[in-house]
Amino acid sequence: MPLEAKNISFRYDRKDPLVLNNISLSVERGERVALFAPSGYGKTTLVKLMSGYLEPTEGQILLDGKPLPKKGICPVQLIYQHPEKAINPRWRLRRVLEESGEMREDVLDSFGIERAWLDRFPRELSGGELQRFCVARALMSGAEYLICDEISTMLDVITQAQIWNVVLEEAKKRNMGIIAVTHNWHVASRIADRIYDLSRQEYIDVKKEKETETMHEHHYFDQHHTHSHEHDHHHSHTPMEELLALMKYMTGHNAAHAKELADLAVKLDEAGSHASYHKVMDAVACFEQGNNMLAEVLKELGHDSM
């Protein structure tokens, strides 16, 4: 039986507008679903609802057809993006892990957690080291479902890979369901079996998307190349050309124009370039995180020169 959000609507206050409106999402045991959208679409709010930290204004959160338990260790464990906010700063890290119940040496070894760290306080470890403890605690809890809310966003590439490799391996061994929250399309497509695009409220089959991605991009460029020849006498820039110009500008000036990129993503989507839309959203994510990955995104779009 799945973990389900059924027709969920939510607002933080009666006078506030709805953050989520009639959203339905489900994940089966052993399945990996990515929850994808740019910032501001309510991804974190939705997973807080699905892990029992918030109550929906309307709709239901169900596990095996029943509401989440109110007592004991929750079978749905949420791992936050910022580990320092999820750990009691007055506890030594041994106690943090013991909170989950079972202390497993194999999990500690998999995450590279040194035994000397167990006697330290959270302030004595780096963010990456703390995140390893948070993920290890969730895995040791006996959870049936793991919700990872941007768990690797603030980490270096090596630590990201290490954490995700352990999480996916452990989930496979225990047939755990995973919801991975991200606004990075590349991460979503690598981790998940299915992607739920919260901005569009639709599921995307990862395998099918990868197979058709190249075809969509070639169709887009062919369509606009022909169009430009037909209208040489008063040429206007295509959305892709606007995008490339803006991205090159931002690379040189380190300016975070995420709104402009998002608007261009919409134009690309309307023009039928679904794959390019998601690459643009990756660029939006880069700016929101404060990371400059434009060269990589430009390369994926087939424009290496800056």
Running along the chain, 306 residues long, what does each successive block of 10 average in pLDDT?
Answer: 93 92 94 90 94 95 93 91 90 91 86 93 91 91 92 76 87 94 81 89 75 44 39 45 51 46 58 56 53 49 44
pLDDT, residue 37, reads 85
* 95/87 Cα distance (integer angstroms): 10
For tokens 């320092």, the residue is 84
CATH 3.40.50.300 domain position(s) in the chain? 3-200
For residues 265 and 45, give the distance between their C-alpha atoms in angstroms, rounded to a whole number. Answer: 24
Cα separation, 114 vs 103, in Å, equals 14
pLDDT of residue 205: 78
- Residue 120: predicted pLDDT: 96
> Which residues have CB under 8 Å from 60's CB, separation 6+?
4, 5, 6, 7, 8, 67
Q: Provide the pLDDT for residue 145.
A: 96
**Are the C-beta atoms of 11 and 57 separated by less than 8 Å?**
yes
| Exposure on the CB side of residue 220, measured as CA atoms within 13 A | 23
User: Comparing C-alpha atoms, which of 3, 246, 296, 294 is closest to residue 143?
Assistant: 3
pLDDT of residue 282: 58
Q: Tell the CATH superfamily of the 3-200 domain.
A: P-loop containing nucleotide triphosphate hydrolases (3.40.50.300)
pLDDT computed for residue 3 by the predictor:
96
Chain centroid offset of residue 5 CA: 17
Given this model, what pLDDT does residue 188 score?
83
pLDDT of residue 209: 61
Quote the CA–CA distance of 137 and 108 in Å, as a whole number.
10
Residues in Cβ contact with 22 at an 8 Å cutoff, skipping those fewer than 6 apart: 7, 8, 9, 58, 59
Sequence-separated (6 or more) residues with CB below 8 Å from residue 149: 43, 44, 47, 78, 79, 80, 81, 181
Angle subtended by helix axes 127-140 and 157-174, to nearest 10: 0
Handedness of CA 242, 247, 250, 251 (dihedral sign): negative
What tokens were used for 251?
Answer: 């690379």
pLDDT at 155: 74
DSSP 162: H
Question: Where do we find the tokens 């009639």?
Answer: 22
Q: Which residues are within 8 A (CB) of 14 and not within 5 positions of it... i.e. 6 or more apart?
A: none
Instruction: Check the CA dihedral 180-186-189-190 and report its sign.
Output: negative
Contact 183, 43 (CB under 8 A): yes
